[in-house]
Amino acid sequence: MKNKPIIIVAGQPNSIFFEILFKSIKYKKYKSPIIIIASLKLLNLQMKKFQFKMAVNSINSQDISNKKINNQSINIINVKLDDHYYSKKKLDLVNQYIFQSFEVAFKIIKMGLTNKMINGPINKDTFLNKKFLGMTEYISNKFGIKKNAMLIYNKKLSVCPLTTHLPLKIVPKKIGKKLILEKIILINNFYKNEIGITPKIAVTGLNPHCESVLKNNEDKIIVAPTIKKAFKLGYKVFGPFSADTIFQKNNRSQFDVIIGMYHDQVLAPIKTLFEFDAINITLGLPFYRISPDHGPNEKMSGMNLSEPLSLIRAIEFLDKN
């Protein structure tokens, strides 16, 4: 599948995406052609704003199969963004534009023209409108995938939250043996197939120090027995570990991946350790889906101060596959 095109859904129109895209293109040459799915008008406006000069190759999905794409231009499939957006910034126009952009990307993937997709930052609160917890769940649903995992990947250490964007009071109700084992299997398969190793996986406990003043301690009743079962099945999985010490240098250096019980339990430490040097990979899909590990940061749009490293790492990962 090498050198198949990388399709990139631009995402939120009023975001830092085009700034970090231009910086990523300037950073290095990539072997795989890059196809942007976005508004051509918006691209031209952004190129003018950031004084970025490069040929633009306007294409359609049929041009991909005819190989009318190249590495010397910005290949773009135009998705119309209603002209009223530029004056009124209406939310419904933005959501319609993002939805149509993803539909184009999904069609290209289903046609078998590529298996590599990146999406730019999305304001999930406004786009998903509480219908899905996050983009991982939204994209998985579009392909009928029920078993998925959010892997925040760095070659030194990755993390996976067992539950994603849930209020903390709901988290204990969602933790179960089946879900923990599901994530372990998905992570193990990814590392074996894509990285070429059998990963060592640490699992945190839910409660501070894996202890609870309550009679029903999830760490003893659910987490520990599941780890024991997975280990007997041949997976290199250990724990549960206290979340306040597992990320210490001597502890984290023993593992490839740390599974946490909820979103910020593992994302806060990984972002502190690596900042923008990590990418969000959805496991379980029949294709590669990656996004930069940050949001649209609309407040910084147009300021030319945004760090492109996460998008660069996303493109690099797909460029080698």
Q: Is the peptide bond before 121 cis (omega within 30 degrees of 0)?
A: no
- Asked if domains 1-145+285-321 and 147-282 share a fold, the reply is yes
Annotated domain spans of the chain? 1-145+285-321, 147-282
pLDDT number for residue 65 = 79
Alpha helices (H) in the chain, listed in sequence order: 17-27, 40-49, 61-65, 84-88, 91-110, 124-127, 135-142, 171-174, 177-190, 218, 224-232, 249-252, 263-274, 309-319
d(CA 254, CA 258): 10
Edge-first strand order for the sheet with 158-161 is: 55-59, 73-78, 34-38, 6-9, 116-119, 288-292, 279-283, 149-153, 158-161, 257-260, 201-204, 237-241
Give me the amino acid identity at 288.
Y
pLDDT, tens digit (0-9, with 9 covering 90-100), for 208-228 = 999 888 888 999 999 999 999
pLDDT number for residue 1 = 43
Nearest to 34 by CA among 107, 117, 90, 154: 117
Which residues of the chain, if any, have pLDDT below 70?
1-2, 88-89
- Most distant CA pair in the chain: distance in Å? 65
pLDDT number for residue 314 = 98
Give 1-145+285-321's CATH code, choosing from 3.30.420.270, 3.40.718.10, 3.40.50.150, 3.90.1150.10: 3.40.718.10
Residues 88 and 69: beta-carbon distance below 8 Å: no
d(CA 221, CA 64): 52
pTM: 0.94
Chain centroid to CA 98: 16
Name the superfamily (CATH) of residues 147-282.
Isopropylmalate Dehydrogenase (3.40.718.10)
